[in-house]
Amino acid sequence: MSCIYDFSILSTTSLSCIRVSEMSAGTLESLVGQTISVITNDGRIIVGVLRGFDQATNIILDESHERVYSTKIGVQQLVLGLYIIRGDNISVVGEVDEELDASLDLEKLKAHPLKPVVH
Amino acid sequence: MAPPLFVGDVTLPLQFLDRKQSRTQSHAMLFFSYFKDLVGREVTVELKNDLAIRGTLISVDQYLNIKLENTRAVDQDNFPHMLSVRNCFIRGSVVRYVQLPPEGVDVDLLHDATRREARGG
């Protein structure tokens, strides 16, 4: 917990950070505290609670787990805990609709894993 | 719901530019302004991992990061990975294409703007 706290102090004391994030329409501010699903450039899907972010889309995810998709067995969930993901490696940040998510039968959901991003 | 940002009023992108800005920066600004004009429209964003997401454009920023609402994967059978996501932020660096509604493209205006750009302002 202490590292999350420290990060919030860092981001609020750095004025330039604040100005940049106010400028950018694409801010993730509205998602802080919510469960989000992050798709990384290597095709992994990590679900967790958004605790912090910055203008480079670096992200702090709490209580996170990875959802591993495969065609043979249903979705597997691997517990990861507190994660910091570097913005470079992030493709999509999605707000998870808890109701919809609860209605999904992940154990029966089969799909190819996402392909990695090719620039 | 947050009020939609940047709706309307940016139809002549280049008039906002500081002439001293570098060429690359003003190029980015042109498309930034262009996308700001499309806020509120339905677009399809194809990513560099072949995932295509359709949704209403909510906002765009200087990195061309995109926010969509009411999102769904275009091919949900093969891409069920975002089934519980209705609202997403797409990092500009992973966007391959943005498919626009035809009525959202003012070809003449875009021609003018890009030509002006090519002449160096």
Could you give the ipTM of this predicted complex? 0.81
CB contact under 8 A, B94 and A41: yes
CB A39 to CB B81 under 8 A? yes
- Please give the tally of structural domains in chain B: 1
pLDDT at residue B72 in the model: 97
Res B28: pLDDT: 65
What CATH number is associated with residue B98? 2.30.30.100
pLDDT tens per residue, range B12-68: 333 333 444 455 566 668 889 889 999 999 999 999 999 999 999 999 999 999 999
Host H or E run for residue B117: helix B107-119
Minimum-distance CB partner of A93 among B2, B81, B89: B89
Work out the burial of residue A67: count CB atoms within 10 Å of its CB; fewer than 13 is exposed, 13-18 middle, 19 or more buried: middle
Kindly state the percentage of chain A with pLDDT values over 70: 78
Contact residues, chain A, for B5 at CB < 8 Å: 25
Q: What is the DSSP annotation of B16-83?
A: G--TTS-HHHHHHHHHHHHHHHTTTSEEEEEETTS-EEEEEEEEE-TT--EEEEEEEETTTTT-GGGT
The fraction of chain A above a pLDDT of 90, given in percent, is 77
Domains and CATH numbers, chain A: 3-103 (2.30.30.100)
Residue B4 lies in a domain: no
> CA-CA distances (angstroms) from residue B26 to A36, B32, B39, B119?
33, 9, 20, 12
Q: Considering the domain boundaries, does residue B3 fall inside one?
A: no
Cross-chain residue pair A117–B47, CB shorter than 8 Å: yes
Closest CA to A48 of A11, A101, A6: A101
- What is the band of A13 on the pLDDT scale with cuts at 50, 70, 90? very low
The answer to whether residue B92 sits within a structural domain is: yes
Range of the domain at B96: 10-120
pTM, whole model, 2 decimals?
0.80
Distance CA B1, CA B23 (A): 36
Q: Are A86 and A69 in contact (CB under 8 A)?
A: no
Other Cβ atoms within 10 Å of B24 Cβ, number: 8
